[in-house]
Amino acid sequence: MNLPRFSIARPVTTVMIFAGIILFGFISLSRLPQELFPPITYPQLTVVTTYENAAPEEIETLITKPVEEAIGTVSGIRRLRSISREGLSLVIAEFGWSENMDFAALRMREKIDLIKERLPRESEEPLVMKYNPFEMPIMTLSITGDRPLQDIREICRRIIKDELEKIEGVASAAIIGGLEREILVEADQGRLQAQNVALLTVARSISDANLNYPAGTIKESFYEYLIRTLGEFEHVDEIEEIAVKVEKEEEPRGKDKKTKEEISTSKSLVLLKDIATVYDTVKERTSFSRYDGNENISISIQKQAQTNTLQVVNRVRKALDFIRAEVPSDIKIKIVSDQSKFIKDAINGVKDAAIKEEYLPFWCYSYSFVM
């Protein structure tokens, strides 16, 4: 029995088969990932190592060459190149397209672990990063307001960024532009020498004072309370009162020998304000963000892997309505880039092409029949 005869003889069965195909098609369409680009694993790994305030020659000798020698023995590498610049070492390894990059990254990390002791102690731990040219932000926001950029950035950090990262499917929200607060301690070289205090001692005293320490526990019947000492700075004035050095007077001999009480009162403290000046300022700007010719704060939103871009963007748009009600009234949030628009346009283009391809032969046949 051929297919036309079977379809005529079994109309109900034929209808059920096509209904099942259409049903499975709709289910698959709703669950298929809708992305602008297909997932591509680019065969390239980059080892990033930072060593602040180091010259390119030192970076090349102390970091780049040992890393190159270590990862050069990894199987599957086709090309190895490096870039040494001030405070940064980049070693780029290229593999073949058939190579499994997850296992390649694992093998590179194992080789790097063997040479970590040879790297400078002041350098950061080497990071193995994968390269994907299609990992672009799914949405970019522009935040402006009638207040200083430092205040706008702080609102973005405390409110907008935290609320965006709570959304399901959002991996991170990066803040770009604006001014960031910085506490600057400017030491006076003459005062340091007069008080016989080293600059490293000043830095160590500041870091040791700005900490919260655990102070044990207190047990009471069925409960156990955790105790901690709060030492983090809350105001800039507290930084100036840090004790950098304790000076003691020499103990006299003979009849002029002082008692213990007199010796304890003769001690004097060298405070930070005696040898340095504390400024509440902003960090040096390394990037600028502008929209329509005016300075603003930009927030780039990255989605999690294997999540639907359209669904994540819809959740972000709904959350923006809630965020606009939480921030001050002068803060304006505008969407300047939305990847879901390109995805929708691409899908609609495929639909239009499919409809035209389906109905175009019918209209051509009807036109020729009439003629």
Between 229 and 70, name the one with better pLDDT. Answer: 70
**pLDDT of the residue at 371:** 45
User: In a 10 Å sphere around its CB, with 0-12 CB exposed, 13-18 middle and 19+ buried, how is residue 34 labelled?
Assistant: middle
Between 32 and 322, name the one with better pLDDT. Answer: 322
Per CATH, domain 183-282 is 3.40.50.300: no
**pLDDT of the residue at 117:** 87
Tell me, yes or no, if the two domains 44-130 and 139-180+286-344 fold the same way.
yes
Domain boundaries, the chain: 44-130, 139-180+286-344, 183-282
As given in the structure block, the two tokens for residue 125 are: 């731990």
Q: Which of 22-26, 77-81, 349-353, 360-364 has the lowest mean pLDDT?
A: 360-364
- Number of helices (H) and strands (E), helices first, in the chain? 14, 16
C-alpha span between 164 and 332 (Å, rounded): 16
In degrees and rounded to multiples of 5, residue 90 shows phi and psi of -125, 120
Residue 321 has pLDDT above 60, yes or no: yes
Model confidence at 345, pLDDT cuts 50, 70, 90, reads confident
**Are 300 and 137 contacting, i.e. CB atoms less than 8 angstroms apart?**
yes
**pLDDT of the residue at 81:** 92
**pLDDT of the residue at 359:** 56
Per CATH, domain 44-130 is 3.40.50.720: no
Q: What is the CATH number of domain 139-180+286-344?
A: 3.30.70.1320
280 Cβ contact list (under 8 Å, min separation 6): 181, 183, 236
Give per-residue pLDDT as tens, 111-142: 999 998 889 888 899 999 887 766 788 899 99
**Are 339 and 312 contacting, i.e. CB atoms less than 8 angstroms apart?**
no
Between 346 and 253, name the one with better pLDDT. Answer: 346
**pLDDT of the residue at 66:** 92
Give per-residue pLDDT as tens, 8-53: 888 888 889 888 888 888 887 777 767 777 777 789 999 999 998 8
Give per-residue pLDDT as tens, 247-300: 765 555 555 555 555 544 556 788 888 888 999 888 888 778 888 888 899 999
Give per-residue pLDDT as tens, 184-231: 998 888 888 888 888 888 888 888 888 887 878 888 878 888 888 887
Q: What is the mean pLDDT of the chain?
A: 83
Residue 93 has pLDDT above 90, yes or no: yes
- DSSP symbols for 265-296: HT-EEEEHHHHEEEEEEEPPP----EETTEE-
Model confidence at 95, pLDDT cuts 50, 70, 90, reads very high
Model confidence at 369, pLDDT cuts 50, 70, 90, reads very low
User: In a 10 Å sphere around its CB, with 0-12 CB exposed, 13-18 middle and 19+ buried, how is residue 340 labelled?
Assistant: buried
In degrees and rounded to multiples of 5, residue 337 shows phi and psi of -150, 130
